[in-house]
């Protein structure tokens, strides 16, 4: 097709989820992405894993994606937060009948399922290894010329290109951004004792150390590790021998998972923060990392993007039913209002936690442990944090409730 309801630039996790969700409601999309599927779907392309919170899980289930990878997800039945290995902790455990707090997926499986779902969707025109060489947004619609020579048209342009979105920058949308003096070392490792489906977030002044449960494999129990280190230490950490890195990890973990190893492939990426002041312009909406990028401290990055998807789909489907142009300024203003507070609160909370737990010294340590213990003893406050972690706080779009719009 050369004409669709929306043109989506970027077919990553968020862009492809948006296309599949729109398809489930009868809306058409053209998805343009420069990536080669053979490269991005290869087993070794991305060693990271993502915690999919319970609300985005319900959305992915409602649009048929979870059926493709249900057995690949490891349920998260609890989250334990601690300040180093000191006494004092905060345990998040769902009530009976509430279901898991989320599911851990290796990104390669998640990406493969979303790509396959988009490829199979009748209302999605997926154009990989393709680039938009020019895009014109005007009063009457969006016209884009692709490097294939094709000219495509839509009512609305969606930027889902990631944190360095050229579409966002070309639209002149201002972004607040800063970098942390940290890099994330990402890997997976096997361990002697079961994680019992619990995720651990251990805070150190040098940065948080997250242990995220994965499904067992032929070699035994396994977890993903997201390890924040000083940026100038990252290269050295990557060059350590496997035994050396496992020894360093064991010190951070205090031995509660027993003997560690073998280690999976490791990678490193710099950590930063960015937040677009405005996520819409004329016939344009931003989703995912094009709109906001946060520290992985609470595992909310891709979940915030999926919340964008659920919100935008509801706004567009409602607009279509009312007979409105999908690029209508009123629809975009509704999306802007609905997402602005949530994304700002999540961004501010993750940035604040990063800075709070990075303060060294005994006094700061004592204050943090007191705070963790206080929240542990206040069920209403604890429930508020759990609702946020699940993606169930505020005005929740229907897709995040597991319902079609």
pTM of the full predicted structure? 0.90
Higher pLDDT, 94 or 16: 16
pLDDT at residue 348 in the model: 58
Give the residues across from 292 on adjacent strands. Answer: 275
102-106, 229-233, 297-301, range with the lowest pLDDT: 297-301
User: What are the tokens at 9?
Assistant: 């630039």
pLDDT at residue 314 in the model: 98
How many Å apart are CA 19 and CA 120, to the nearest integer?
Answer: 11
pLDDT at residue 376 in the model: 59
Chain centroid to CA 123: how far?
25
Pairing of β 102-106 and β 74-76 = antiparallel
Q: How confident is the model at residue 272 (pLDDT cuts 50, 70, 90)?
A: confident
Higher pLDDT, 90 or 224: 224
Q: How confident is the model at residue 274 (pLDDT cuts 50, 70, 90)?
A: confident
Mean pLDDT of the chain: 88
Q: How confident is the model at residue 275 (pLDDT cuts 50, 70, 90)?
A: confident
Using CA atoms, how far residue 175 sits from 161, 172, 273, 279, in Å, is 15, 9, 10, 10
Q: Tell me: the pLDDT tens digits for 324-367?
A: 999 999 999 999 999 987 776 665 556 555 555 555 556 555 55
Q: Is the pLDDT of residue 97 over 90?
A: no
Helices (H), 211-322: 234-239, 242-253, 301-321
pLDDT at residue 48 in the model: 83
Average pLDDT over residues 118-147: 97
Express as a percent the part of the chain with pLDDT over 70: 85
How many Å apart are CA 343 and CA 351, to the nearest integer?
Answer: 12
Q: Is the pLDDT of residue 154 over 90?
A: yes
Q: Is the pLDDT of residue 140 over 80?
A: yes
How many Å apart are CA 124 and CA 147, to the nearest integer?
Answer: 19
């Amino acid at each position: 097709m050369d004409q669709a309801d929306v043109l989506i630039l970027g077919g990553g996790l968020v862009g492809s989820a948006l296309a599949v969700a729109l398809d489930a409601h009868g809306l058409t999309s053209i998805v343009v992405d420069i990536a080669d599927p053979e490269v991005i779907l290869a087993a070794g392309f991305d060693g990271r894993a993502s915690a999919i919170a319970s609300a985005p899980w319900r959305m992915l289930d409602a649009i048929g994606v979870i059926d493709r990878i249900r057995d690949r997800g490891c349920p998260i039945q609890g989250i334990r937060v601690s300040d180093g290995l000191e006494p004092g902790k905060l345990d998040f455990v769902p009530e009976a009948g509430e279901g898991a707090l989320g599911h851990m997926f290796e990104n390669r499986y998640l990406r493969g399922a979303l790509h396959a779902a988009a490829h199979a969707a009748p209302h999605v025109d997926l154009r990989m290894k393709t680039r938009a060489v020019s895009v014109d947004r005007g009063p009457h619609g969006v016209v884009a010329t692709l490097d294939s020579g094709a000219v495509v048209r839509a009512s609305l342009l969606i930027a889902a290109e990631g944190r360095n979105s050229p579409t966002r920058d070309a639209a002149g949308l201002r972004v607040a951004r800063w970098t942390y003096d940290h890099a994330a070392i990402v890997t997976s490792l096997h361990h002697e004792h079961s994680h019992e489906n619990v995720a651990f977030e251990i805070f150190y002044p040098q940065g948080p150390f997250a242990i995220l449960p994965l499904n067992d494999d032929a070699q035994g129990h396994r977890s993903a590790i997201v390890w924040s280190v000083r940026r100038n230490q990252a290269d050295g950490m990557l060059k350590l021998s496997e035994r050396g890195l496992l020894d360093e990890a064991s010190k951070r973990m205090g031995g509660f998972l027993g003997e560690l190893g073998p280690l999976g492939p490791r990678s490193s990426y710099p950590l930063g923060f960015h937040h677009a002041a405005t996520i819409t312009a004329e016939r344009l909406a931003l989703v995912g990392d094009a709109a906001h990028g946060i520290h992985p401290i609470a595992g909310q990055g891709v979940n915030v993007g999926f919340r964008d998807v659920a919100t935008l789909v509801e706004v567009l489907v409602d607009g279509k039913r009312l007979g409105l142009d999908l690029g209508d300024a009123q629809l975009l203003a509704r999306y802007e209002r609905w997402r602005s507070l949530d994304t700002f609160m999540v961004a501010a909370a993750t940035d604040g936690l990063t800075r709070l737990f990075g303060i060294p010294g005994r006094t700061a340590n004592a204050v943090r442990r007191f705070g963790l213990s206080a929240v542990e003893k206040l069920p209403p406050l604890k429930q508020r944090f759990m609702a946020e972690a699940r993606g169930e706080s505020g005005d929740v779009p229907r897709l995040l409730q597991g319902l079609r719009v």
